[in-house]
Amino acid sequence: MRKIMRSVYYVAGEYDYDVLLTLVDENETRPVERLLGNRKIDGLILTRTLERDPLIPLLKARKLPFVAIGQPEDDEILSVDHDQVGGCREMTSLLLMKGMKHIALLGGSMLYTVNQSRLEGFRQAYDKMGQVIDEGLLFLELETDDLRMWAVQQAVERGADCILCMDERLAQLSLNVLKQLNLRVPQDIRLASLYDSENLANAVPPITAVQFNADILGLKATQQLLCALQGEKVETRIELGYQVSLRESTQI
User: 69: helix, coil or strand?
Assistant: strand
This model's pTM is above 0.85: yes
Q: How many whole angstroms separate alpha carbon 221 and alpha carbon 78?
A: 9
Task: State pLDDT tens for residues 224-244.
Answer: 999 999 999 888 999 999 999
**What's the CATH fold of domain 84-211+245-250?**
Rossmann fold (3.40.50)
What confidence category does residue 26 fall into, taking pLDDT thresholds of 50, 70 and 90?
confident
User: 52: helix, coil or strand?
Assistant: coil
CATH of 2-82+213-241, one of 3.40.50.300, 3.40.50.2300, 3.90.1150.10, 3.20.20.10: 3.40.50.2300
Q: Report CA-CA distances (Å) from 125 to 28, 58, 70, 90, 250.
A: 35, 36, 21, 7, 17
Q: Report CA-CA distances (Å) from 40 to 24, 170, 227.
A: 16, 36, 19
Residue 232 makes CB contacts below 8 A (sequence gap 6+) with none
Domain residue ranges of the chain, discontinuous segments joined by +? 2-82+213-241, 84-211+245-250
Q: How many whole angstroms separate alpha carbon 37 and alpha carbon 21?
A: 17
> Fold identical between 2-82+213-241 and 84-211+245-250?
yes
Q: What is residue 210's predicted lDDT score, i.e. its pLDDT?
A: 98
Task: State the DSSP H helix or E strand holding residue 66, giving kind and residue range, or none if neither.
Answer: strand 66-69
Q: How many whole angstroms separate alpha carbon 193 and alpha carbon 172?
A: 9
> In the predicted model, is pLDDT for residue 127 greater than 90?
yes
Residue 63 makes CB contacts below 8 A (sequence gap 6+) with none
Q: What are the helix (H) ranges across 81-230?
A: 84-97, 113-129, 145-157, 168-180, 198-201, 214-229
Q: How many whole angstroms separate alpha carbon 249 and alpha carbon 209?
A: 10
Q: What is residue 38's predicted lDDT score, i.e. its pLDDT?
A: 87
What confidence category does residue 35 fall into, taking pLDDT thresholds of 50, 70 and 90?
confident
